[in-house]
Each structure stands twice: as C-alpha cells, then as structure tokens.
C-alpha cells in the first residue's frame, strides 16, 4: 500500500498528465514512415530520448507509459531512460498487455492477451524502474457490438490484470477504450460507455481492487468519426462527465483520458471543456495522450538531429497546453503563441 500510494501521489498532480509513449514496434514504425523515418533500434532510442529529455516537461507531465524496449534504452549521456525520468520527478510506467485478438463466440469483438506470466514480468519491470502499468481493452461499436459476452469478458480481464499489479505493488492504469471508428451517434457512444464502465467497476469490486491505488483511462463520449456534425466541446464534456458520475466511484483518484484518434487541438479543447464546466469533481480529470501529444513533435523532428531543438519546443508547447486544459485554463488562441 505504501509504495502504491507514493506512486499515485507522483502520478496525480495538479496541472499535470501522463504521456503514452508505449507504441509497439509495428505501431511506431507506421508513424515513423509517415515522415520518412526508418524504424530501427537507434532511431527509436534517439526519438524517445529526445522526447523524454525535453526541458520543462516535468511541469506538465507526471508520468510516462513506456514500451518494454524502452526500459533498457539509454539517453545520450548513458543514463537508463527510466532513471532519467525518475530523476526529473516523472514516474515511469510500462504497457503490459500483449494486444487484442478476436473474441471467440462474439464476431466483431476482441479480447486482450497477456495474463500468462504477468506476475514475473511485473517483478522484472519493477526492478527496471517501472512503478505503474497499463492494460487496454477495446470495444467496437456496431449494431451488434459490443456483445454482452465481450463486455463481461473484457471487464474480467481488466480486473484480473489490476489484481496482479496491486499484488506486486504496481499501480494499474485500467483502460477500457470505446472506439470511435464508425458512424454511430454520440448517444450510442454514451450508452455503450456507461454499460462498459459499469461492468468494469463491478469486476474490479469482485477482485478486491483498491480503488484509491488505480487510475482509469477511458475514452471520451464522442460520435463516430464518420458521423456528422461533430460534437461541440461543451456537449462532449457534459456527456462524458454525466457517464462518469453514474459509473466511477469517488475513491478513484484520477481519470486520465486517452485521445483515441482525436487531433491534438480537439483532444485539448475537449479536456479543457470538462475542467472549465465541472469544478471540483470527485476525481482529477486529466490526460494520458499518445499521438495527440507526440504527432506534431514527430513531424517537426523528421528523424534529423538538426531538428532536435525544434522538436522539443513543439512537444513542450503541446504538454503545456494540455497542462492548462487540466486546469480549465486553455484557450484556442494560445496555439502557436
């Protein structure tokens, strides 16, 4: 309990959020290829070292989710990246799931693998500096999905993962992602999100999870990407917080949203709307973005060392703007200022 409480205090801080830098090798290779960057062990190390060593990000980033490879990589000064982060007051974490596969008996739904050997892996990650973990389950929305089989099975997997983490003194980030692919309405997303979160917290209760020592990483309530018109930030905020009030116990210290395909500005303005409209909610409303924090920085870098300072400046600005959104103080005119 003591070490998990210490980890939570480091992860949940006013004006700060979590960077998701846990892209798998194929995912990072795909993102690199968009800017003509070859994905090698050295380019991945160089990119993440530059990102993590950006001066000033410790004022806006409290934790970083790492990929397994990153735990053993070093910065340009020879320091292990988890050690470098810890020295700056940034808590290192680790993605531990092994990816989603089709769920038998439920066409169109998926289930995430990786529970086998998780305890042993967590002990190794902990020795390498990780203090929290992340596991993602995904829920597609169609006329038939997600099925009740998928809702129950995915909730059970999240709870079993969280139980193993807490048994090892690791804070679990529980990530039930309701996907925004498709043409479903915001109302349909709201209904699915509410059902999913109810199932997740029932499963967490059954497995005896200490709610004060976990973080929830959900998607916002949004219409599908192919649905028009797009939702106004105030509508996103109102719908999302309404669902959270119905499903998430006040004992959970922080809700760190994933960006889930939103653009950088969209993810920031929607988070800001929640914190501007709902003062003093029972939990912190923060961010745990991947692409929404990194995409502009990666474009600015382009794999070229001469662009390092430019890349770090772009990343710092994105982190700062989301730190302001965490307080409800972001304004669109701040972009590029």
Buried/exposed 294-329: b ≥16 CB within 10 Å, e otherwise: bbbbbebbeeeeebbeebbebbbbbbbbbbbbbebe
Partnered with residue 255 across adjacent β-strands are 216, 285
- Return the structure tokens found at 78: 């020879």
> Considering 23, 156, 175, 177, which one is annotated as catalytic?
175
- Return the structure tokens found at 70: 């990153």
> Considering 16, 95, 134, 217, which one is annotated as catalytic?
217
Q: How far apart are CA 161 and CA 113, in angstroms?
A: 10
Query: Taking a C-beta distance cutoff of 8 angstroms, is the pair 215, 254 a contact?
Result: yes
Find the farthest-apart pair of alpha carbons in the chain and give their distance in angstroms, rounded.
53
Partnered with residue 65 across adjacent β-strands are 20, 93
**Is 175 known to be catalytic?**
yes
Burial class (CB in 10 A: 0-12, 13-18, 19+), 117: exposed
- Please give the radius of gyration of the chain, using alpha carbons only, rounded to the nearest integer: 19
Helix ranges, the chain (H): 2-11, 25-33, 41-52, 81-87, 118-127, 148-167, 186-206, 233-247, 264-277, 291-301, 308-327
Catalytic residue numbers, as ranges = 175, 217
């Amino acid at each position: 309990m003591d070490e998990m409480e210490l980890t939570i205090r480091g992860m949940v801080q006013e004006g700060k959020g979590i960077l998701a830098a846990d892209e798998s090798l194929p995912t990072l290779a795909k993102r690199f290829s968009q800017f003509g960057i070859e994905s090698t062990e050295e380019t991945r190390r160089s990119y993440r070292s530059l990102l993590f060593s950006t001066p000033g990000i410790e004022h806006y980033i409290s934790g970083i989710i790492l990929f397994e490879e990153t735990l053993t990589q070093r910065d340009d000064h020879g320091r292990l990246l988890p050690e470098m982060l810890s020295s700056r007051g940034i808590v290192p974490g680790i993605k531990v799931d092994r990816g989603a596969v089709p769920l038998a008996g439920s066409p169109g739904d998926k289930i995430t693998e990786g529970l086998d050997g998780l305890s042993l892996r967590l002990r190794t990650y902990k020795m390498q500096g990780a203090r929290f973990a992340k596991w993602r389950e995904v829920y597609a929305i169609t006329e038939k999905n997600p099925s009740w089989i998928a809702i129950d099975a995915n909730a059970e997997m999240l709870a079993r993962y969280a139980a193993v983490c807490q048994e090892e003194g690791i804070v679990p980030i529980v990530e039930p992602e309701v996907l925004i692919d498709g043409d479903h309405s915001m109302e349909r997303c709201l209904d699915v999100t509410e059902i999913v979160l109810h199932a997740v917290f029932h499963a967490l209760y059954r497995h005896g999870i200490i709610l004060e020592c976990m973080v929830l990483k959900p998607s916002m309530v949004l219409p599908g990407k192919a649905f028009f018109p797009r939702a106004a930030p105030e509508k996103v905020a109102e719908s999302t917080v309404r669902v959270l009030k119905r499903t998430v116990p006040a004992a959970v210290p922080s809700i760190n949203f994933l960006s889930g395909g939103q653009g950088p500005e969209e993810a920031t303005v929607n988070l800001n709307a929640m914190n501007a409209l709902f003062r003093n909610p029972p939990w912190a409303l923060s961010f745990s973005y991947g692409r929404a924090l990194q995409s502009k920085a990666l474009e600015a870098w382009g794999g070229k060392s001469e662009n390092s300072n430019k890349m770090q400046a772009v990343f710092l600005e994105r982190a700062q703007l989301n730190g302001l959104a965490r307080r409800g103080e972001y304004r669109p005119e701040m972009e590029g200022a």
